[in-house]
């Protein structure tokens, strides 16, 4: 069975990019009256504590979401990085960043911000009565925790937890009844085959339901399979004649370093991206405003950068 537990990573820089973007996509999609179905193919436990053992052990939230709460800005300025350079950081958070901060704050009793919502709770927060949420989670412990967390919402049949393989399980629900859906695909990539399964799932889903919005999170690490994910998704979207958007956030160099004792140190996760097929037309500008601010807050060295690209 898998050893990946999202509780170690909750609130890290990758969650910040993913959850801020997810919220922006959903805000847009819930403006239309027609019922929406949201699928979270890799849901995790749903709700996390940033002061719990898992998060404290990894310290990832301290370098991610919790840094956004501090008043300080990182004084790094990678001036030679073209469009990724930090030039000037606006004082007020960009609208989608502020929305994300407000949403997380809503799960907490201010001033302490120790509860962090995963994608299931972020999505559920925005659902209207007519919308549905289907959550896939394969890890037995996390599936149990997710079910217990969701049960507290008294959401009835609006939210379903399925202890199934999300890559396969999605198929039977497409196309959804009202023909409006957002699919979030956020694997742990713990198993190497996940890198290949993502584009296969999206290709299949597009044949069943071409007008859905598909959002995939991927790590940007020095492995060819990781870089293949956005490349393959771009090819898929282009061939299907669909619009797409690819955004990335880098917080540090991906190079191996050597510590004082001569031990080689891996950098952990230096960067990640989100690839969206059929994105809201407002998303690119919204991300262009927010991502430089995330770089300013979350940069760990001079390699910190952001990028947004789109097409179709």
List residues with catalytic annotation. 186
Q: Does 292 bind ligand SAM (CB under 6 A)?
A: no
Q: Please give the Cα distance from 97 to 249 (Å, whole number).
A: 14
Residue 120 near residue 150 (C-beta atoms within 8 A): yes
Residue count of the chain, please give it. Answer: 312
Residue (146 or 296) nearer to ligand SAM, CB: 146
- Give residue for tokens 């290949």: 196
Q: Does 60 bind ligand SAM (CB under 6 A)?
A: no
35: exposed, middle or buried (Cβ count in 10 Å: 0-12, 13-18, 19+): middle
Q: Does 123 bind ligand SAM (CB under 6 A)?
A: no
- x/- map, 10-39, ligand SAM, by CB under 6 A: --------x---------------------
Q: Does 93 bind ligand SAM (CB under 6 A)?
A: no
Give the pairing of strands 132-136 and 159-162.
Answer: parallel
Residue 44 near residue 120 (C-beta atoms within 8 A): yes
- Find the binder of ligand SAM among 108, 147, 188, 253 (CB under 6 A): 188
Q: Which stretch binds ligand SAM (CB under 6 A): 91-99, 183-191, 227-235, 280-288?
A: 183-191
Say how many residues touch ligand SAM, by CB under 6 A. Answer: 21
Looking at the DSSP bridge assignments, the partners of residue 245 are 276, 310
Q: Does 107 bind ligand SAM (CB under 6 A)?
A: no
Residue number, nearest CB to ligand SAM: 118
Q: Please give the Cα distance from 13 to 61 (Å, whole number).
A: 7
Residue (138 or 174) nearer to ligand SAM, CB: 138
- Find the binder of ligand SAM among 24, 38, 43, 97 (CB under 6 A): 43
- Find the binder of ligand SAM among 100, 136, 209, 275 (CB under 6 A): 136
Q: Does 244 bind ligand SAM (CB under 6 A)?
A: no
Q: How far is the CB of 219 from ligand SAM (least distance, A)?
A: 10
Q: Please give the Cα distance from 278 to 275 (Å, whole number).
A: 10
- Find the binder of ligand SAM among 93, 115, 131, 142 (CB under 6 A): 142
Residue (140 or 222) nearer to ligand SAM, CB: 140
Residue (274 or 277) nearer to ligand SAM, CB: 274
Q: Which two tokens stand for residue 7?
A: 């509780």
Closest CA to 164 of 180, 181, 147, 177: 147
Q: Does 222 bind ligand SAM (CB under 6 A)?
A: no
* DSSP 8-class letter at 92: S
Q: Does 242 bind ligand SAM (CB under 6 A)?
A: no
DSSP track, 108-166:
S-TT---EEE-HHHHHHHH--TT-EEEEE--SHHHHHHHHHHHHTTT-GGGEEEE-S-H
> Cα separations (Å) of 310 from 61, 179, 260?
29, 24, 43
Q: Does 166 bind ligand SAM (CB under 6 A)?
A: yes
Q: Which stretch binds ligand SAM (CB under 6 A): 30-38, 55-63, 89-97, 163-171?
A: 163-171
Q: Does 254 bind ligand SAM (CB under 6 A)?
A: no
Q: Does 230 bind ligand SAM (CB under 6 A)?
A: no
H-type alpha helices, the chain: 13-29, 53-58, 65-69, 95-105, 119-126, 140-151, 166-169, 193-208, 224-239, 283-298
Q: Please give the Cα distance from 141 to 146 (Å, whole number).
A: 9
Q: Does 8 bind ligand SAM (CB under 6 A)?
A: no
Q: How far is the CB of 91 from ligand SAM (least distance, A)?
A: 29
Residue (43 or 236) nearer to ligand SAM, CB: 43
Identify the three-state secondary structure at position 177: coil
């Amino acid at each position: 069975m898998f050893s990946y537990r999202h509780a170690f990573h909750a609130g890290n820089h990758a969650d910040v990019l993913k959850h801020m973007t997810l919220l922006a996509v959903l805000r847009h999609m819930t403006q239309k009256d027609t019922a929406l179905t949201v699928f979270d193919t890799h849901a995790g436990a749903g709700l996390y504590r940033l002061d719990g053992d898992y998060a404290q052990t990894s310290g990832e939230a301290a370098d991610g979401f919790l840094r956004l709460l501090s008043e300080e800005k990182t004084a790094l300025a990678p001036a030679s990085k073209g469009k990724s350079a930090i030039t000037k950081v606006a004082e007020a958070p960009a609208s989608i960043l502020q929305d994300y901060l407000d949403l997380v704050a809503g799960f907490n009793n201010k001033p302490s911000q120790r509860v962090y919502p995963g994608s299931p709770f972020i999505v559920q927060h925005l659902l209207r009565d007519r919308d549905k949420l289907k959550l896939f989670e394969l890890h037995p412990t996390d599936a149990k925790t997710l079910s217990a967390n969701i049960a507290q919402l008294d959401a009835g049949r609006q939210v379903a937890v399925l202890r199934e393989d999300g890559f396969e399980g999605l198929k039977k629900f497409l196309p959804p009844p009202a023909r409006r859906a957002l699919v979030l695909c956020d694997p742990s990539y713990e198993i190497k085959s996940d890198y290949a399964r993502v584009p296969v799932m999206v290709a299949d889903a597009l044949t069943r339901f071409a007008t859905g919005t598909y959002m995939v999170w991927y790590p940007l690490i020095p492995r060819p399979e990781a870089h293949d994910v956005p490349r393959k998704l771009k090819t898929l979207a282009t061939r299907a004649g669909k619009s797409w958007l690819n955004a990335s956030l880098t917080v540090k160099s991906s190079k191996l370093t050597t510590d004082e004792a001569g031990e080689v140190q891996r950098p952990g996760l230096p960067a990640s991206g989100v690839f969206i097929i059929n994105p809201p037309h407002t998303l690119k500008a919204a991300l262009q405003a927010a991502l430089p601010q995330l770089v300013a807050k979350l940069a760990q060295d001079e390699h910190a950068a952001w990028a947004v690209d789109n097409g179709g």
